[in-house]
Amino acid sequence: MSSAEDDRTLIERCQSGEASAQRALVERYRPAIWRLTRNATGSAEEAFDITQETFVSAFGALSRYDPSRPFGAWLTRIAVNKCRDWSRRRAVRRMFELGVPAGFETAVVDDAALPDRVAEARAELAAVSRAIADLPLRLKEVLLLRAVESMSQAETAELLGISEKAVETRLARAREKVSSTLRASDVRGV
């Protein structure tokens, strides 16, 4: 039995009220949805909340799901929309946070004494995560779906409702913006 057939069967069971089918779908798709939302937000806590919201919304709208399309893509679309909502709310909150530097809320302080290499690697990862989280939403979505989730250009274009050329252009711009942000932070010694 293929994964798509398993999804269809589980969805039918969900629609008839079987909680075990919901759990099975959550277990199957939670890692990918959490990874997407973690990379989109730069925060494990926010990713946890958005992942939960994604599944709650999906199960609430299961009657509108088109079984001729892949369930994973439908769920990813919901997660992308939840990340967009989070990004809009974050922008509004930032307007009211006078005097707090952008990105401060995602900084993680680790008091443990670590070897230099581990510390450098963590600093680099944090810088990359901040650079990705600070991208404009339309660039961030494409970068995450293509580079992190390994979706094809065609799948990304379909999921976001844009052309494949737009995916290519946005991906190039996202990579350049992340690179320039990282170069600028190296120059400042951040």
Break the chain into its structural domains and give their ranges.
Answer: 1-107, 109-190
Contacts of 106 (CB under 8 A, 6+ apart): 42, 43, 129, 130, 133
Distances (CA, A) of 88 to 82, 136, 144: 10, 11, 18
Amino acid, single-letter form, for residue 26: V
What does the block give as tokens for 114? 């670590």
Considering just the CA atoms, what is the radius of gyration of the chain in Å? 19
Rounded Cα distance, 53 and 29, in Å: 13
- For the chain, the residue count is 190
Q: What is the pLDDT of residue 88?
A: 81
Amino acid, single-letter form, for residue 82: K
Amino acid, single-letter form, for residue 151: M
Q: Give the CATH number of domain 1-107; options: 3.30.420.40, 1.20.140.10, 1.50.10.10, 1.10.1740.10.
A: 1.10.1740.10
Q: What is the pLDDT of residue 113?
A: 45
Rounded Cα distance, 62 and 145, in Å: 23
Q: What is the pLDDT of residue 189?
A: 53
3-class DSSP state of 39: helix
pLDDT mean by block of 10 residues, the chain; 190 residues: 71 90 94 92 91 94 89 93 86 59 54 58 78 88 86 90 93 91 70
Task: Confirm if 54 and 33 have CB atoms less than 8 A apart.
Answer: yes
Q: What is the pLDDT of residue 147?
A: 83
64, containing H or E segment: none
Q: Read off φ and ψ for residue 181, nearest 5 degrees.
A: -65, -45
Q: What is the pLDDT of residue 125?
A: 75
Report the b/e string of 115-147 with b at 16+ CB within 10 A. eeeeeeeeeeebbbbbbbbebeeebbbbbbbbe
Which CATH topology does 109-190 take? Answer: Arc Repressor Mutant, subunit A (1.10.10)
